[in-house]
A = this chain, B = another copy of it.
Amino acid sequence: MSSNATEERVLAAVGERRELVNEAIDEEVPMAEPQRLYEATRYLLEAGGKRLRPAVALLAAEALADVEPLSTEYRAFPALDEGSVDLMSAAVGLEVIQSFTLIHDDIMDDDDLRRGVPAVHEAYDTETAILAGDTLYSKAFELMTNTGAKPERGLEATRLLATTCTRICEGQALDVSFEHRSDILPEEYLEMIEFKTAVLYGAAAATPAVLMGADDDVVDALYQYGIDAGCAFQIQDDVLDLTVPSEELGKQRGSDLVEEKETLITLHARQHDVDIAGLVDTASLDDVTESDIDAAVSELEHVGSIKYAREMAEELVRESKERLEVLPDNEARGLLEDIADYLITRGY
């Protein structure tokens, strides 16, 4: 299977759903009073984003219901037994949570840019950014309680959203704590990215199954699909930071090394006696040269650290696709498999 063809299929499938998701975002998070607050809540949502998590949710529903993709109204999607579910409300809720975490993370990490525009705390101010994140947080729970699913399912999906958010906070706290440690184990790193990144993919894939009344084993399998794919996605991010030219990456290649951010790659290299702190001597992104990065990447290639990370991501993608075997074999399931592949074949 050509990775170009996979990418094209994924981008088409995600793109078709993105328009619908964007319309729903406008309906569900409309401008309101106080104006400045709601402008700030909408600012990052309007700045773009692939809407990958909503796409995963909507495709999971289509695969599960065994319907032709895009043939069924997402706002009144048939449950597996009877009645219908507003899946779009849930999908928007997941994207809104993603947006809230980005806004707060950017404050915590002091990142000034996001999606090519100033971060919310730069475009507005830190107070407004905290509050915009907090507002999106509760909006997501409003959305998840308003799917019209059977109450026990709506409650279960809302509980899943709550535990997911707790995990995301724990993951961000672990990430911050790693900045002060040089003895992180690969399994600790994997737990961190699972919590910080992958659980929201898990929730995206599992939530439709919960709302539509699927069996527990299907819910669990979809959740694990998201966890595995989400972890692979994050590991691939770390690989791309070293291997994609700066101009394609949209930021300095090797910035993780310069900023001494631990990744699976540096953890592996450390275990193979590479002096990580000495890999790139320059302490600042302004001074680093492409040849500094080339030399560091060479050394990491030499001890097999980049290969290690790549293979780990590939293995996770294989596992994530296997999880989908609980679903009927149909086009939507194929697209979910493609998305898992895409997460590690994407160029940036």
By the criterion CB–CB under 8 Å, are A104 and B142 in contact? no
By the criterion CB–CB under 8 Å, are B146 and A130 in contact? no
Instruction: Pick the interface stretch among A66-74, A153-161, A330-338.
Output: A153-161
> Contacts A145-B155, A155-B151, A158-B141 hold; do A169 and B37 have CB atoms under 8 A apart?
yes
Q: What B residues does A3 contact at CB under 8 A?
A: none
By the criterion CB–CB under 8 Å, are A162 and B142 in contact? yes
Q: How large is the interface on A (under 10, 10 to 19, 20 to 34, 35 or more residues)?
A: 35 or more
Task: Identify 14 new A-B residue pairs, CB closer than 8 A, beyond the known A108-B131, A137-B137.
Answer: A33-B170, A34-B170, A34-B177, A107-B126, A107-B127, A107-B130, A127-B176, A128-B176, A131-B172, A138-B162, A141-B165, A142-B162, A142-B166, A145-B162
Bound CA span A190–B126, Å: 26
Q: How far is the CB of A32 from chain B (nearest CB, A)?
A: 8
By the criterion CB–CB under 8 Å, are A170 and B135 in contact? yes
- Residue A134 at the B interface, CB < 8 A? yes
Bound CA span A158–B144, Å: 10
By the criterion CB–CB under 8 Å, are B104 and A169 in contact? no
Bound CA span A255–B136, Å: 33
By the criterion CB–CB under 8 Å, are B158 and A130 in contact? no
Q: What B residues does A107 contact at CB under 8 A?
A: 126-127, 130
Q: How far is the CB of A23 from chain B (nearest CB, A)?
A: 21
Q: How far is the CB of A96 from chain B (nearest CB, A)?
A: 12
* A residues lining the B interface (CB < 8 Å): 33-34, 36-37, 104, 107-108, 126-128, 130-131, 133-135, 137-139, 141-142, 145-146, 150-152, 154-155, 158-159, 161-166, 169-170, 172-174, 176-177
Question: Can you list 13 A-B pairs with a CB-CB distance of less than 8 A?
Answer: A34-B170, A36-B177, A107-B127, A127-B176, A128-B176, A133-B134, A134-B137, A135-B169, A138-B162, A138-B164, A142-B166, A145-B162, A158-B158
By the criterion CB–CB under 8 Å, are A134 and B169 in contact? yes
By the criterion CB–CB under 8 Å, are B169 and A131 in contact? yes
By the criterion CB–CB under 8 Å, are A159 and B131 in contact? no
By the criterion CB–CB under 8 Å, are A134 and B37 in contact? no
Q: What B residues does A162 contact at CB under 8 A?
A: 138-139, 141-142, 145
Q: What B residues does A135 contact at CB under 8 A?
A: 166, 169-170, 173
Q: What B residues does A154 contact at CB under 8 A?
A: 151, 155
Bound CA span A74–B130, Å: 35
Bound CA span A139–B108, Å: 20
Q: What B residues does A133 contact at CB under 8 A?
A: 134
